[in-house]
Amino acid sequence: MNKKQLLAMQKRNKARLTELRGRLEKNEVRAEDLETVKTEVQDLADEAQAIADALANLEGGDGEGEDTGSAGGSDEGEGRSGDESGENEEGGESGSEDDDEERGEGSGEGEQRSGIPAEQRDGIMKKIGASLSTRGHKSTKTKEKEVRTAFAKFVVGQIDETEARSLGVVTGNGSVTIPEVIASEIITYAQEENLLRKYGTRHKTKGDVKYPVLVKKAAANVTKTERDAGTEIPETDIEFDEILLDPAEFDALATVTKKLIKMSGVNVEDIVIEELKKAYVRKETNYMFNGNDLGNENPGALAKKAVAYYESTPVDITAAGYSQKLYSQLVKLKGQPVTEVLKKSMWIVNRAALTVLEDMTDTTGRPLLHAAADGVGYKLLGHKLDFTDSADGTDSTKPVFYFGDFKAFHIQDVIGAMELQKLIEKYSGVNKIGFQIYNLLDGQLIYSPFEPAVYRYEVGAVETP
């Protein structure tokens, strides 16, 4: 949208705000219309700010965007943006004893006529005034870009700590807290690459999160006779266990060459952030899917916590006629979850499984795997399917199928915990700069033993005695 269009929208916006203010000043808004007017004013205020931000961006984000009362804005609206300016003063002059009478010496009688409490009317008037006086300023997008750039420049030594702090970057003890705009970008990237973030349940918190898990079901009672003192309802026991999400210290390392950083024309912030995202996501994904990092094992990882399903009839995908045998096992796997879980279930498979599925047909000869109705992704046996290399087992050539409700995988992100430390001396011998990311994170598959949430099937796997 160009500047001319934005200014035209701004003019219409201000004209409507000015009209509404005039109606409120004259007590022309009925009590039953108050909520409608409040809603409209809020919508207009949001639109006014969005227009101001867009104009600021067109001006280069320097904070000196369009004055919304000039250059095509509503002069009338701008004239009334202050409590004691423009037409407000004129209104005081033409003033009108009639107006005073109508308002009942300052709004008393007006309140009785319109039925609108003075404080509510004043609140709306204040909102309108603020919207009419909105000036183009640094938009949220521009501010985020500044913080993003300042963070990257600080970690590679292009600005000092004082300048970084003035630009909103928090530093201390040799490390720098990753700004929310970048942390969110890293997490967003993680959601794209880590399917457990995409389909699981995320919790942003500062404390531990505890989950009750049913370990003993209640038993109901039935009787055909009326109860009396000797046949009271017996007590039923319900037992819950408690699972605690206990965030572990989590780190990853990325390196960038000094040559790349010093090259002219290169956006240093993009280099740094891209490397941070890749390093962090690789480590996080393995922690959640496999949890097999030596000394930092995750007992709640998907591969460890999902219930293993073993073939009732051996399947050899290299032998002729494997298709129908594997199809039969997948149907049986789908039947494992209880009904409540089945209704919310989907598939996550590795690339080897996807390759096999693309070459398979059901008993009628139709492809087993087909595109979803909306054209996004796949469906297998009526349930959504997604794939990732992270679902590999110890042998990446063996198909692995996960099926269940992945909302049962809970992830705790500790607010403000993501930090970065710059490592210069450690990599000086190879002319690189290291960036070590630190975060507090936990991710576990949590479910009651009565309702397993996810099942895992690896083709050819045999249950060990």
Helices (H), 26-137: 34-58, 75-79, 87-93, 97-114, 118-132
pLDDT at 74 over 60: no
Distance between alpha carbon 14 and the CA centroid of its chain, in Å?
34
pLDDT at 19 over 70: yes
pLDDT in tens, 259-285: 877 775 667 667 777 877 888 888 889
Mean pLDDT of 38-43: 88
Tokens coding 266:
């290169």
Mean pLDDT of 85-112: 41
Mean pLDDT of 103-131: 64
pLDDT of residue 241: 58
Span 157-465: which CATH code?
3.30.2400.10
Cβ atoms < 10 Å from Cβ of 86 = 17
pLDDT at 78 over 70: no
Look up residue 376 and give its amino acid.
V
Mean pLDDT of 186-205: 85
Of 101-115, 137-151, 188-202, 303-317, highest mean pLDDT: 303-317
Tokens coding 31:
């009590």
Tokens coding 321:
């006629």
pLDDT in tens, 305-320: 999 999 988 999 888 8
Distance CA 306, CA 326 (A): 20
Domain positions in the chain are 3-138, 157-465
Res. 106 pLDDT band, cuts 50 70 90: very low
pLDDT of residue 103: 41
The reported pTM is 0.60
Select the more confidently predicted residue: 163 or 194. 194
pLDDT at 392 over 60: yes
In DSSP terms, 145 is beta-bridged to: none
Mean pLDDT of 22-32: 84
Mean pLDDT of 175-199: 80
Q: Quick check: 420 and 435 in contact, CB under 8 A?
A: yes
